[in-house]
Amino acid sequence: MTYSTSHTPQSIGNINLLQRLFNRRDVIPLEKDLLWRIERGVVRTLTWGEDGVFITLGYWGIGDLIGYPLSSVSPYQIECLTSVEVSIVPSHLWHQNVESLLSHIQQAEKLLSIVHRKPISLRLWLFLVWLSEKFGRDLEQGKLIDVNVTHQDMAEVLNTTRVTITRLLQNFEEEGKLLRHKRSIILRECHKLTIS
């Protein structure tokens, strides 16, 4: 794992926060008395069962707080999906981040509600919409999901198989709901559903 202290600390009030840089696929260290605020990049939090199968707990981006104090799951890991820059938020500053803490809870609950939808095609579509709302970028053709999530990653989140995800993505593409370019997915705005 490679990380370094940044030269430009972020601040909360008049307190400067140390920053760390991580590379794609690095694991962010767990500390019981601090949280990390994402300044740049995307991470996922995950655990795994006795069989070694990964269970994704969430995807997090700019402004989100992450860290072991926000979970009671064990094992627990924070994996960088891109290069990531984070600020260290020590426990004595958590009270200044109430909005970010509430957002963390809301996002986790929204993802949990998606994971339990049926049929699996609706579950996948709502997950794609959620990703586009959180990590999307508007293009002429629709909304680009601007994070690299593999078919296997989606299968792990949605408790299904990679083959099922691939088949459903092909169906969505044939129906005109999405466009695929290389590894990117663009949702067509005319087919956007809201997540309730």
Residues 25 and 82 in one domain: yes
Which pLDDT score, from 0 to 100, does residue 132 have?
95
Residues 16 and 91 in one domain: yes
Which pLDDT score, from 0 to 100, does residue 23 have?
97
Give the CATH number for residue 20: 2.60.120.10
In-domain check, residue 108: no
Question: What three-state secondary structure class fits 175?
Answer: coil
Please name which of 104, 54, 53 lies closest in space to residue 77, comparing C-alpha atoms: 54
Which pLDDT score, from 0 to 100, does residue 183 have?
83
* Residue 115 neighbours by CB under 8 Å, 6+ apart: 123, 127, 157, 158, 159
Helix boundaries (H) for 59-188: 98-115, 120-135, 151-158, 162-174
Which pLDDT score, from 0 to 100, does residue 181 have?
80
**Helix or strand (DSSP H, E) at 11:** strand 10-12
Which pLDDT score, from 0 to 100, does residue 182 have?
81
Which pLDDT score, from 0 to 100, does residue 153 have?
92
Specify the number of domains making up the chain: 2
Which pLDDT score, from 0 to 100, does residue 16 have?
58
In-domain check, residue 52: yes
Domain of residue 34, residue span: 3-96
CA 89 to chain centre: 19
Which pLDDT score, from 0 to 100, does residue 4 have?
43
Cα pseudo-dihedral 24, 92, 76, 6, rounded to 10: 10
Distance CA 118, CA 20 (A): 40
Residues 66 and 122 in one domain: no
pTM of the model: 0.84
Cis peptide before 69 (omega within 30 of 0): no
18: which 2 tokens?
């140390």
Which pLDDT score, from 0 to 100, does residue 148 have?
87
Which pLDDT score, from 0 to 100, does residue 124 have?
97
Residues 131 and 178 in one domain: yes
Residues 88 and 120 in one domain: no
| Consecutive 10-residue averages of pLDDT for the chain (196 residues) | 43 65 96 94 95 92 96 95 95 93 94 95 97 94 92 93 97 95 82 50
